[in-house]
Amino acid sequence: MTHPAIAPDHVAVVTGGASGIGLAAARRFGAAGMAVLIMDLPGPSLTQAVEALKAVGIDAVAAPTDVTDIAQIAAAKAQADRMGPVSVLMCNAGREGGGGFAAGEAVWRRTLETNFWGVFHGLQAFLPDMIAAPYPGAVVMTGSKQGITLPPGDTAYNVSKAALRALAESVSHDLVKQTGGRVSAHLLIPGFVYTGFTRAKGVTEKPAGAWTPEQTADFLMEGLDKRDFYILCPDNEVTREMDLKRMRWGMGDILENRPALSRWHPDYAEAFAAYMKAED
């Protein structure tokens, strides 16, 4: 069983598709017979990604695009329309933030403009035609567990992904009302994945605990097949059960009126450790 939007002779658009999870997903869509438009910043990575897809017989086209610029997204949309009917949109482009509350406005703006507004621009450009079309469609937004559990450190990134989660949930609900589920929305929530973000930190080999982008793309396809909205990926360190327990604890901060982010609060360290060890 496959999601009906993944159809031969239709087009999949992937932002941030020149590397990592985006490129791995583009390969999966292309292997299913779709043409693929790769939207990413101009440069060698984009050129090489498209050449690699073409080398395995995928009809791939490069669209040099900065997703923070709605005019560039509109130009990519016109390019995609010339390729055929767009039935899959994967808003995957993202960036790390780089600091906490005091990181500076420039850091915050860059992070939010890519991780939130870049997705919003993509939805605005592509969704109206997907809603109006007679065929099934699927929209994938790449979120983050950090947008749910909010670990201290990269606050700008956490806020951007929390906002994206809220957007994705609302879009999914609206699509049910507008299309009866013919066009579906999905929030991809990767685990620890060895991508360019990791390599940029000086890690030259895949850590044992990390998944590959290809494993993540396979899990995405399984989630789409099942019509899951929350496509919550494990990795080689963290199981789904561990993720769910951590998320339940986070919701408990509200329900039990604990301090914000009590998982990392010194007064709750022992309680959280005992909670994680206890069997459900």
Question: At 194, is the secondary structure helix, strand, or coil?
Answer: coil
Angstrom distance (rounded) from CA 39 to CA 18: 8
Q: Which of 25, 19, 60 is nearest to 197 (CA)?
A: 19
100, 153 contact by CB (below 8 A): yes
Q: Which residues are catalytic?
A: 157
Angstrom distance (rounded) from CA 230 to CA 220: 10
The pair of structure tokens assigned to 179 is 């299309």
Q: Who's near 231: CB < 8 A, 6+ residues apart? A: 140, 186, 187, 188, 189, 219, 220, 223, 224
Q: Who's near 185: CB < 8 A, 6+ residues apart? A: 138, 139, 140, 141, 168, 171, 172, 175, 229
Locate all alpha helices (DSSP H) within the chain, ordered by sequence. 20-31, 44-55, 70-83, 105-112, 118-132, 146-149, 155-179, 196-200, 213-225, 240-255, 269-277
